[in-house]
Structure 1
Amino acid sequence: MWRHSDLSITRAVRHRVKALDPERPPERFFEALRKADERLLALDYDGTLAPFTARREDAALYPGLAPLLAAILQQETRIAFVTGRPAEDLAARIPLKGVEIFGAHGQEHIAPSGRLTRAPLSTSSRLWLDASALRIAAAGFGHALERKYGTVAIHWRGARPDDRVQLEKLARDMAGELPADIQGLAFDGGYEFRVRGRDKGTAIADLIARHPQAIMAYLGDDMTDEDAFIALPCTGLGVLVRDKLRDTHAHLWLRPPKELHTFLRSWMTAVTS
């Protein structure tokens, strides 16, 4: 994992868009992309393509991204979205046809044809998630609760300071009582409890298995995206998209939205040259 203490941090700040791994400079990646017979662009949504909002339902793509992604899709690039949101929720937000969506951190999948499938859940997992959702609501935080397939999440972005303290304590208490088939994970603005076995890394592994020759990149912003960065093949490029640099397994860091547009335009240039 790349660490802040590395000398690269000063160069990253000075040049803004910067390779964090000298073994995978972006120039080499885009040259491989230009020559590739198959290309795959995998993308997180919240915090990556859309700025965070106090209300999750208000999150929308940065201006100008939709037509740029549509143009990339038309140039023989497969596009897949890998998100913590429910797959159908994200499908309603993306004005693109024929893309693939992994929702609920890989628990759900929408094929390019539109067919939705879900990973099986055990009875014990469902019962624990149901009970946890009731516990959060009973504590007076139903407004902070998000229930997804295979997941219960607590959100505190935009919460009052006192409420945030209580929500964080509730998350810690619940995390200390987890059954073996449930894992607790922090994300930017909250905490979630998820059935083990599927994550953003397994979603990337699924894509690699079906497209082993594709030159691919994954763009994400928070700690849940680290599984995806780790799962990338040796020819892949992990891109951290956020305002502030943090420890990461990504190979490139850029800040949205301007540098995000620059990266996607560079992709377009590579595939059309």
Structure 2
Amino acid sequence: MDAADLVEALRPHLAGALIATDFDGTLAPLVADPESSRPAEGAIDALGALAGRGAQIAVVTGRDATTVVRLGGLDTVPGIVVAGLYGVETWRDGGLETQDPPPEIDELRRRLPDAIAPAGHDVWIEDKRLSLVVHFRRAADPAAAADAVRGPVTDLGRELGFETHPGSNVLELRLPGYDKAGALRGLAEGRSAVLYIGDDLGDLPAFAAVRDLRDEGAVAYSVGVLSSGVPEIVDAVDVDVDDPAEVVELLRRVAG
């Protein structure tokens, strides 16, 4: 399947479809500072056009939902739903459904800096309230820095009841039992079709969920963005594109 085939297959089902996408690396180019992340030019307009055609728009992200809404200006997209922290929380219509932080996360905050100290001073921790992310992108050798602390970080997370998940130059410690597959399946219930777009290791479960939905008889497709450099993406998706700018162009074509 190529992009033109996907557009042709999806358009007849657009009214009532779910159009779901990751944020960083998919709608927005990856940047060193997560606070400077912004959608690619035209992304919000393209999502709005799809909403105008009757599609349910969703963003499924590892970030907390309110941060993504703020950085992306997503509240301007009619009816959008943002599933944050891999589905732990949901933002819609200006309101947030979320969980209280577990008591163990305070202990994780206290001990994680010591666990990552061998990776050097250019490694830093992002606090998402319900999860913590160790970033290696600023290190001189990100892969080596991650290798130096993966074991201690994983052991600490296991001790305190958190799962450790790799991403593009990150290790994330998050609440167990949540992934983008579960978030996507919940959003997809009752929809005429499903399109999911993502770029990273955390999106692989959602791509698998798309395949399962199709095996169950649903109209469901996946698109992978290659600019994050995750090799597993190519074999996991129906169509691949190079970067967020091409995601915007694809969304425009689907909207017609």
TM-score, normalization: structure 2? 0.82
> Taking structure 1 as reference, are residues 36 and 129 closer, same or farther at Cα in structure 2, changes over 3 Å only?
same
**2:89 counterpart of 1:108:** yes
The DSSP-based 3-state class of the residue aligned with 1:179 is: helix
Residue identity over aligned pairs, in percent, reads 23
| Cα distance in 2 between the residues matched to 1:86 and 1:145 | 15
| Cα distance in 1 between the residues matched to 2:187 and 2:149 | 36
> Taking structure 1 as reference, are residues 224 and 245 closer, same or farther at Cα in structure 2, changes over 3 Å only?
closer
**2:61 counterpart of 1:91:** no
Alignment map for 1:74-85 (pairs within 5 Å): 74-85=52-63
Structure 1 counterpart of 2:105, one-letter code: R
Q: How far apart are 1:261 and its partner, in Å?
A: 3.0
| Cα distance in 1 between the residues matched to 2:101 and 2:230 | 36
Q: Which of 124, 131, 137 pairs up with 1:157?
A: 137
> Taking structure 1 as reference, are residues 189 and 138 closer, same or farther at Cα in structure 2, changes over 3 Å only?
closer
What is the aligned partner in structure 2 of residue 256 from structure 1?
A: 243
Provide the aligned C-alpha RMSD in A.
2.7
What is the aligned partner in structure 2 of residue 170 from structure 1?
A: 149
**2:129 counterpart of 1:144:** no
Q: Decide which structure has greater helix share.
A: 2
> Taking structure 1 as reference, are residues 262 and 142 closer, same or farther at Cα in structure 2, changes over 3 Å only?
closer
Q: Which of 221, 235, 244 pairs up with 1:237?
A: 221
Q: How far apart are 1:141 and its partner, in Å?
A: 5.0
**251-260 vs 174-183, which deviates more?**
174-183
| Cα distance in 2 between the residues matched to 1:127 and 1:71 | 43
Query: Runs of 5+ in structure 2 lacking a partner?
Result: none
The DSSP-based 3-state class of the residue aligned with 1:81 is: strand
| Cα distance in 2 between the residues matched to 1:36 and 1:90 | 25
**2:190 counterpart of 1:206:** no
**62-71 vs 100-109, which deviates more?**
62-71
What is the aligned partner in structure 2 of residue 72 from structure 1?
A: 50
Deviations 1:22-62 (A, max 9, x none): xxx86266334324541111010111111111111111111
Query: Runs of 5+ in structure 1 lacking a partner?
Result: 1-17, 20-24
**2:183 counterpart of 1:183:** no
Q: Which has the larger radius of gyration?
A: 1
How many residues align? The count is 242
**76-85 vs 60-69, which deviates more?**
60-69
